[in-house]
């Protein structure tokens, strides 16, 4: 049975999950058996060619105690717990994700931290409460996994919801230097497993923002250009 078979719509783990998730990433993010096997720090470490800690730090270093933070999607391993601990009880840490099993894992990791919330929502349409104001909004390796139209929707929604004085942080893939051997490994990986990733090599993240000129875009690359962290703020 293929993973977009109609009977799967009855399976609570598949209900309301976007087609690109079941068609492309079923084993990676939707099927509970696989997700249980993959949700470990060492998996993230291997996937990121041992760059996991510095890429996480690029995000975690932006968090100050007491901030209100929205993280767009769950990440395997302990990143969400570390981010929530750094925010601490004087702040708020809100995690969204579009997939039921990821909500389950996120909820388990954040149990007992009353300043956290785990919300099932597509990051592109997360309905932020009228009085909810985030100091930091982070997309950690989400953009390369979503189809092109969704990249536009996510970036625009994030920036629309970004209050003046707050920061949006994107950590994701980038165009690796020609000398970087990982470039050629990723070409093959993208071809077979990550069909939406390669446009991250061609487009700057600001390409996906319809009002890019209203913001400052500060980019830092890592590991010979394989990865990037972009911090976005409203222009003064």
Site residues (vs ligand SAM, CB under 6 A): 21, 29, 44, 47, 72-76, 96-99, 102, 122-124, 140-142, 145-146, 150
Between 109 and 150, name the residue whose CB sits nearer to ligand SAM: 150
Are the C-beta atoms of 154 and 97 separated by less than 8 Å? no
Residue 130: CB minimum distance to ligand SAM, A: 22
Min separation Cβ 207 and ligand SAM, Å = 18
CB 20, min distance to ligand SAM, A: 8
With CA atoms as reference, report the closest residue to 30 among 97, 79, 125, 110.
97
CA 36 – CA 197 distance, rounded (Å): 24
In the chain, what is the greatest distance between 2 CA atoms, to the nearest angstrom?
A: 54
Residue 98 CB, nearest approach to ligand SAM (Å): 4
Kindly give, in sequence order, each residue whose CB lies less than 8 Å from that of residue 8, ignoring residues fewer than 6 positions away: 1, 14, 22
Q: Which is nearer to ligand SAM, 69 or 75 (CB)?
A: 75
Nearer to ligand SAM, 9 or 88 (CB): 9
Cα–Cα distance for residue pair 185/172, rounded to 1 Å = 17
> Which is closer to ligand SAM, CB of 88 or CB of 121?
121
Q: With respect to ligand SAM, which residue has the nearer C-beta, 135 or 145?
A: 145
Q: How far is the CB of 229 from ligand SAM (least distance, A)?
A: 14
């Amino acid at each position: 049975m293929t993973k977009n078979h109609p009977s799967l719509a009855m399976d609570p783990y598949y209900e309301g999950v976007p087609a690109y998730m079941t068609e492309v990433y079923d084993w990676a993010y939707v099927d509970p058996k696989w997700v249980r096997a993959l949700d470990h720090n060492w998996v993230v470490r291997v996937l990121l060619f041992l760059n996991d800690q510095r890429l996480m730090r690029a995000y975690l270093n932006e968090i100050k105690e007491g901030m209100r933070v929205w993280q767009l999607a769950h990440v395997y391993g302990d990143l969400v717990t570390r981010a929530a601990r750094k925010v601490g009880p004087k702040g708020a840490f809100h995690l969204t994700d579009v997939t039921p099993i990821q909500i389950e894992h996120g909820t388990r990791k954040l149990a007992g931290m009353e300043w956290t919330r785990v919300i099932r929502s597509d990051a592109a349409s997360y309905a932020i409460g009228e009085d909810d104001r985030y100091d930091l909004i982070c997309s950690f390796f989400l953009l390369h996994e979503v189809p092109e139209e969704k990249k536009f929707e996510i970036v625009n929604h994030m920036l629309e919801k970004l209050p003046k004085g707050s920061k949006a942080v994107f950590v994701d893939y980038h165009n690796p230097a020609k000398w970087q051997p990982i470039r050629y490994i990723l070409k093959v990986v993208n071809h077979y497993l990550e069909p939406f990733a390669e446009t991250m090599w061609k487009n700057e993240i600001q390409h996906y923002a319809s009002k890019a000129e209203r913001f400052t875009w500060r980019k830092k690359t890592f590991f010979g250009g394989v990865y990037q962290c972009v911090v976005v703020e409203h222009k003064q």
